[in-house]
Structure 1
């Protein structure tokens, strides 16, 4: 990978600031509400076969938007979240779902006009800065650098899809805990990679020192232990998705249950998450038909 590309990616880490402290600006909100919202967005992403990068862009937009606001009521979280996913899909997807499809999955809670109005609000608040390097983009880069052989096209994925989806599941679970915002996205991806490789490999592909990732690696350990008690994720088939792109499609498992179980561990100090959901998940895996 060229030095120019690497420097541009690192500069984005400085430009796109995220901070879990935004909750102090919203006294009516709790960490569990964010977790429930993100879990629902992952579910919507799977329903519409959206890419992992799209879901992670939506998470980034949501968290950065909330950093610019004050005293948001919990009743608006679903609208902000689905709008963030709508914007992200237009950035990342070749064929993004239509706005009425995003309204549809809210089961009447948000209509198209709500989403359009909120879209403008979010774009202005983010100053149209919509292209961060997410944990997913960093992870894909690390995996590709590690698997790269001299005579192969760098743009063609060389890494194991099976290992990749295990690491992404770990990132998904970690991302739902607001404490993940304590870390830069490059460090989050490197720490997750560490749990499936050696630090020597991670250092080789990321250039990061042990001092810069060790705290995050330790923070992730209870999440890893929780996932180890589950069956390994399997690569899913999606209609109209090619076999070599399946690992890039966002999937959803019972992340709230996993988070609850992980937080119940005696060695865990994480944000509390309630099991009760406040959002309406998609009722099926079928997309609505055009009216």
Structure 2
């Protein structure tokens, strides 16, 4: 797979909540020679079968253990299509809720953090980023402070309200017997590669994963052969919502190596919008993180590290879907600022968000574990993206 190595790690602000700044340049994309095809994502079928078995593959990635899955590039079948009527009936039958109204009731209780002492040296004093002492180390977000300062609190509380209403259900995979957590991890990793190749914005990726999780939360019995189609539709909708010049429909079909047709992708888009009730303005970790960095600027290294660990959190349902997006963003901010400068949750953000260090600690501990083991994971798209000097 020959993806572009130029990572788009610059600053960007959601056009709905924070006024945009700067101009965006549309870059011409060169198609790679090879393309990874998810096709049928199967974990259960691998057990008890050798790698020599199976039918014809168009492209696949070899596995050495059960943690890595084989991609079967097969043509989709109309018998596996997810129709609007079926999706609506499933939602009403299973959850008793209207389509598009899936949300979590409340935050999960915080987990005991036995390793808090290893992560942070807790302090009650307000610590400032040492980069604030130098003009050369000003945050990439510092220019946006004046844009949002007048409305920052209103924006924050609006996002906090919406994040509860538009939160996916942590246990939604129980309603999809053919889809496993490992399949979702591989799909999200593939979405990161597509976003990187077409130089899309980080917010587009975060929105796509949010749409994916909410769609699977509100439906049931999605076939594994349609999982990549669902993910591609989620990314296409997110690109239309967020990007100035989103890729064409044919480009999204091309990313799947024409495993699905344009007609199937358009049909899945309609299903998506019906199931999500056209509620596309979902708060994401990226939005909260950028708002926090506008209130309390940090150096570019800290900013990109925070964005990196925030994108790592997209790979895992457990435990990160049990936390609010604002809490995950706060944990990413804390982990980045502590790693670079050994500082803690700033007093300005403590008063702005109402979150104390103790409330952030459980999510911070989980994010730290994901951060330290990222190098050993089979999915490396996020790490490769942030390896770029850009």
TM-score normalised per structure 2: 0.55
- The 1:16–1:62 alpha-carbon spacing in structure 2 relative to 1, beyond 3 Å, is same
Q: Does 1:203 align with 2:350?
A: yes
* 1:1-291 to 2 correspondences below 5 Å: 1=149, 2=151, 3-147=153-297, 159-179=298-318, 180-197=320-337, 198-201=344-347, 202-226=349-373, 252-253=382-383
Query: Contact between 1:146 and 1:205, CA under 8 Å: does it hold in 2?
Result: no
Q: Distance in 2 between matches of 1:5 and 1:252?
A: 29
Query: Contact between 1:170 and 1:227, CA under 8 Å: does it hold in 2?
Result: no
Name the count of aligned residue pairs. 224
Q: Deviations over 1:128-147 (max 9, x none)?
A: 00011100011111111102
Q: Distance in 2 between matches of 1:224 and 1:131?
A: 28
Query: Cα distance, 1:84 vs. partner?
Result: 0.4
Query: SS at 1:195's partner residue?
Result: helix
User: Any unmatched runs of 5+ in structure 2?
Assistant: 1-148, 338-343, 386-390
Runs of 4+ in 1 over 6 A off after TM superposition: none
Q: Distance in 1 between matches of 2:352 and 2:229?
A: 38
Q: Distance in 2 between matches of 1:161 and 1:200?
A: 17
- The 1:118–1:253 alpha-carbon spacing in structure 2 relative to 1, beyond 3 Å, is same
Q: Deviations over 1:51-108 (max 9, x none)?
A: 0000010000000000111111111110000100000000000000101000001012
- The 1:227–1:68 alpha-carbon spacing in structure 2 relative to 1, beyond 3 Å, is closer
Query: Cα distance, 1:227 vs. partner?
Result: 5.0
Query: Contact between 2:303 and 2:336, CA under 8 Å: does it hold in 1?
Result: no
- The 1:76–1:166 alpha-carbon spacing in structure 2 relative to 1, beyond 3 Å, is same
Query: Cα distance, 1:220 vs. partner?
Result: 1.3
Query: SS at 1:253's partner residue?
Result: helix
Query: Cα distance, 1:9 vs. partner?
Result: 1.4
Query: Cα distance, 1:182 vs. partner?
Result: 1.2
Query: SS at 1:132's partner residue?
Result: coil
Query: Cα distance, 1:166 vs. partner?
Result: 1.4
Q: Distance in 2 between matches of 1:105 and 1:135?
A: 26
Query: Contact between 1:56 and 1:135, CA under 8 Å: does it hold in 2?
Result: yes
Query: Cα distance, 1:209 vs. partner?
Result: 2.1
Q: Which residue of 1 aligns with 2:46?
A: none
Q: Distance in 2 between matches of 1:7 and 1:172?
A: 23
Query: Cα distance, 1:5 vs. partner?
Result: 1.9
Identify the range of structure 1 (192-201 vs 121-130) with the bigger mean alpha-carbon deviation: 192-201
Query: Contact between 1:190 and 1:206, CA under 8 Å: does it hold in 2?
Result: no
TM-score normalised per structure 1: 0.72
Query: Contact between 2:312 and 2:371, CA under 8 Å: does it hold in 1?
Result: no
User: Any unmatched runs of 5+ in structure 1?
Assistant: 148-158, 231-250, 256-291
